[in-house]
Structure 1
Amino acid sequence: MSADYSASKLPPFSLLEEPLLTFNTEDTSLDVNPLRGIVQHGAYSSSIFPTYTPELRIATVGPVGGWNNLRTLVNTLRSSHAPSDRKQYVPAFRGFENTFNVPLVAAKTGEAHIKLPDDVGSLGPEGPPHVRLLHALRTAMQRLALVHDHFDVVLVHLPDAWQIAFRAPGFDAHDALKALGAGHGIPTQVINDRVFTFGYKASLAWRLSIALYVKAGGIPWKLAPLKGVPENTAYIGLAYALRGNPQEAHYVTCCSQVFDADGGGMQFVAFEARDPVKDVDEARRNPFLSRSDMRAVLARSLTLYQSRNGGMLPRRLVVHKTTSFKPEELEGALDALSAIQEVECVEVASNAGWRGVWLQESRNPTPQRKSEPDGYPVPRGAVMQRSGRSALVWVAGNAPRAASRGDYYQGGKSIPRPINIVRYAGVGPIELTAFEALALTKMDWNNDALYDPVPVTIRYSQRLARTIANVPTLPGNAYAYRLFM
């Protein structure tokens, strides 16, 4: 791929380096590919994880008819598999124990394995299907809470035969399960029927194994120090939800996700706004907080950061959200963060109406045709500045450094769209703000991909916001992210 931009007719742009990941505390074991890094160096916490979790113990909940499939699935994760898809990115999976340095075992007490009826009509004593399913899940979590010291993660099989019970007005089975588990501090892994027939075993094993490892308290990788980013930088992601029926809701719940500079320390804050929404229609289009509520949620988020860092404040704090910052939100943010030296408030929008095509010199040039589209899209990390405070950032694109050979475009289809970042507060090069957003797309521990389409600050807070929207009774507490993965 040519790096000669002298012939470009576009506004000036730059190409950021692929952010490095670290796999040890000394930041000496580095790679840009998370899976390759685990294979070569081990998971970030692999040296200490076995000291407090010598075995990763699995509990199970599901219908009787799927019990053998669950057993086979666990055996699949224990086994080795050669990649059969995304071969230029996915390395061979060597089995769970060889990969993460702990064995994967079934919980040894029978009380941790709960068999449910195959018929959705038999799940609960009465009511429509979703009420029966909710009753069965609530009872299962209550039973598991009594033997929580005998397992680390619960596999919950929700079969296709129960689909009639998965959704109803104001109900989502996945989110209800996560909320029930969070109430007891129990991490859950949902399994559907497709998992049992998924043909790409190496990808399946990587994806599920990373998720189980994280939900049990492990850390697969972190961000290596980012060049140009000051030490003691922290990140907060905000997402909003209207509790209950959006047609009648009058209060916004703000979901805040707090991250350390390396992308770790992931905890949620669910904050119930005190000031009522005056215009519900506007709030549905673009939820926002009053000055006092923004001050309160960020102060609470900052307290959470300090509790993990010996009372210390970050030197620099970057706040991400998907919508524009209203003047009263900026005022509230700066009120709460007045003791911090540098504060940035950044809108990260994933619906930018832009596309880009990477051009190469034509193989048969003519005066009318000096260039032609390359076989791969715009490189990941391309940044085109739109103004002094906004830029387009291609977080999806060609990433050859992550490939074992040649070029690599995740997904391999369509023309990637950039995210649009707009800085409402803060100073310094917009490329540094873009680089941080690019790096944070690599910190979603809920999959095995090279990157997520949006920074993890946005993705994680959106997940909690969705859960709160579907489970309005979830208390507005601080939660570990692994409970909602």
Structure 2
Amino acid sequence: MKKSSEDIDDLIIKGVDLFLTEIKFLAKNKKPDVILCVLDEKFTNMVYGTKTVEIDEEEDEESSLSIEINFRRLLKAKSMEYNIPIQIVRDRIVKPSKEMQDEATIAWNFFTALYYKASGTPWALKKASTNNTCFAGISFYKSRDKSTTQTSVTQIFNEQGNGVILRGTPVKESKKDKQPHLTEKQAFDLLYSSLKEYYEAVKIYPQRLVIHKSSNYSEEEVQGFQRVADKMNINSLDLVTIMPTNLRLYREGGYPPFRGTMLSLDKQRHFLYTRGYVDFYETYPGKYIPSPIEIRLFSYDESPEQICNEILSLTKMNWNNTQFDRKFPITIDCSRNVGEILKYLDKDQKPQIKYSFYM
């Protein structure tokens, strides 16, 4: 008998409750660094169906398992109150099928994620200057009822990958460009609160701040962010929009453009190939034709070349998937992934500030 969506939703909720009972016990009595939640394939198939899940190259396996009430997101959100990161594992990884990654890649990704969630630092950005630079990502997500109200989320990384997560306030969609925007007060409050939390975590304020956003900046947003920079004596502020584009470049001989190729239309508008031909491999290590990302600079103190080079470096910082050439930097990837889990938190539930609780 075919199960209805209501039956599946009920199964997810009961399954989450069972895991939460064990997570609560372990957190109270054992206090581990990370808790593994292993999913039996029979349960997984009941929840997500028996069809083989197609994994997009830009998405990790966990985030591709999506349903109206999403098991992964609900469990991540509900388990936060026990203050221990969890790692969801499907038991099929012990015997990978042909459509899955090879055993070595699975092991590398799995243990890298565990190491980071246990407060380790797998790798870090090379420090380019003596300035203390931080990178923040801001994006928007819809509530679970898919209403038009959207809420902002920000996270801040330094060169070591340390950072904080913060949930913003509801925002409205602009009638001009049909994109969600913060008011000047929301922009100020969100960034100010994030930097205060960041200081509590690493005990230092940044000298330079780079904000990556998935939509254009409004005048109010620019003014709000600039007020924070002035108030906190931040010497350098770069406001950057990063978005997909339909533009394509072609290299003589039919090969994809080199990873790191940058095309500038003017001082504000640039295109960057974060995926492409890699000299070390003497090929393009991907399944699909690579496309660049569009980078718009609304306000900047550093050169466009440096800003693009930093974006390229930040594509290597996703410890949930150790692919070295992600399309988007961790700032954008993280803020999107965080938003998908924050929507499952209760309004009065305080979110965890560490990214390890969301990956």
Return the TM-score normalized by structure 2.
0.84
Confirm whether residue 224 of structure 1 aligns to residue 126 of structure 2.
Answer: yes
Is residue 409 from structure 1 mapped to residue 318 from structure 2 by the alignment?
no
Which residue number in structure 1 is paired with residue 133 of structure 2?
A: 233
Please report how far the alpha carbon of residue 408 of structure 1 lies from its aligned counterpart in structure 2 after TM superposition.
4.4
Task: Find the partner of 1:295 among 152, 165, 188.
Answer: 188
Q: Which residue of 2 aligns with 1:392?
A: 271
Residue 146 of structure 1: which of 25, 28, 35 is its match?
A: 28
Is 1:347 aligned with 2:241? yes
Q: What does the per-residue CA deviation read over 1:444-478, in whole Å, with 9 as the maximum and x for residues that have no partner?
A: 11122112210111111111101123445573445
Q: Which residue is equivalent to 1:382?
A: 261
Cα distance change on mapping 1:207 and 1:285 into 2, 3 Å: farther
Query: Are the aligned partners of 1:271 and 1:477 in contact in 2 as well (CA < 8 Å)?
Result: no
- Residues 1:328 and 2:225 are matched in the alignment: no
Contact 2:262 2:270 in 1 (8 A): yes
Following superposition, the deviation at residue 304 of structure 1 comes to: 2.1
Q: Quote the residue 1:176 is aligned against.
A: 74
Question: What CA distance in whole angstroms lies between the structure 1 residues aligned with 2:196 and 2:210?
Answer: 15
In the alignment, structure 1 residue 202 sits paired with structure 2 residue 104: yes
3-state SS, counterpart of residue 35 of structure 2: strand
Contact 2:345–2:351 at 8 Å: present in 1 too? no
User: Does 1:136 pair with 2:18?
Assistant: yes
Relative distance call for 1:459 and 1:192 in structure 2 (3 A) is: same
For 2:162, give the aligned amino acid.
Answer: G
Relative to 1, partners in 2 of residues 1:219 and 1:263: Cα closer, same or farther, differing over 3 Å?
Answer: closer
**Equivalent AA in structure 2 for residue 380 of structure 1:** R
1:157 is matched with which residue? 38
Secondary structure in structure 1 of the residue aligned to 2:180: coil
After the TM superposition, which segments of 4 or more aligned residues of structure 1 sit over 3 Å from their partners? 163-170, 281-285, 470-474
Kindly provide the amino acid, as one letter, of the partner of residue 231 in structure 1: N
- Give the letter aligned to residue 354 of structure 1: L
Q: How does 1:306-317 map to 2 (within 5 A)?
A: 306-310=199-203, 312-317=204-209
> Matched residues in 1 for 2:10 and 2:201: separation?
44
Task: Look at both structures and tell me which one has the larger radius of gyration over its CA atoms.
Answer: 1
**1:446 and 1:474 mapped to 2: Cα distance?**
28
Residues 378, 169 of structure 1: alpha-carbon distance in 2 compared, 3 angstrom cutoff: closer
Percentage of identical aligned residues = 24
Of residues 204, 211, 216, the one that matches 2:113 is: 211
Taking only aligned residues, the RMSD between alpha carbons, in angstroms, comes to 2.6
Measure the CA separation in 2 of the matches of 1:215 and 1:142: 18
Q: Deviations 1:124-174 (Å, cap 9, x if unpaired)?
A: xxx93223223212222222222242x222221223422444689752110
Residue in 2 that maps onto 1:481: 355
State the alpha-carbon separation in 2 of the partners of residues 212 and 306 from structure 1. 26
Q: CA deviation at 1:232?
A: 1.1
- Does the CA-based 8 Å contact 1:253-1:271 persist in structure 2? yes
Asked whether the equivalents of residues 164 and 194 of structure 2 are also in contact (C-alpha less than 8 Å), the reply is no
Secondary structure class of the residue paired with 2:153: strand
For the Cα contact (< 8 Å) 1:315–1:340, is it kept in 2?
yes
Displacement of 1:307 in angstroms is 2.2
Residues in 2 aligned to 1:234 and 1:416: alpha-carbon distance in whole angstroms:
28
Matched residue, 1:56: none
Are 2:134 and 1:255 equivalent residues in the alignment? Answer: no
Q: 5+ unaligned residues in a row in structure 1: which ranges?
A: 1-120, 122-126, 360-371
Structure 1 pair 161–246 and aligned structure 2 pair: CA distance change class (3 A)? same
1:381 Cα deviation after fit: 0.7
Deviation, 1:439, is 0.8
Deviation per residue, 1:223-273 (Å, 9 max, x gap): 1123xx5621111111212333122x54x322111111x142132112234
Deviates more, 1:234-243 or 1:205-214: 234-243
What amino acid maps onto 1:173 in structure 2? Answer: F
Contact 1:343-1:426 within 8 A present in 2 as well: yes
Q: Is the 8 A contact 2:39 2:90 kept in 1?
A: yes
SS of the counterpart of 1:337? helix
Find the aligned partners of 1:144 and 1:168 in 2 and give their Cα distance.
27
| 1:181–1:282 Cα change, 3 Å | farther
Tell me the TM-score normalized by structure 1: 0.63
Per-residue deviation at 1:409? 2.6
Letter in 1 for 2:186: D
Deviation string, structure 1 residues 179-237 (Cα, Å, up to 9, x no partner) = 122221121111124423326221111111111111111111111123xx562111111
Partners of 2:160 and 2:269 in 1: CA distance: 23
2:211 is paired with a residue of what secondary structure? strand
Instruction: Look up the equivalent residue of 1:432 and give its one-letter code.
Output: Q
Q: What's 1:266 paired with?
A: 163
Equivalenced residues, count: 330
Given the alignment of the two structures, is residue 186 of structure 1 paired with residue 65 of structure 2, yes or no?
no
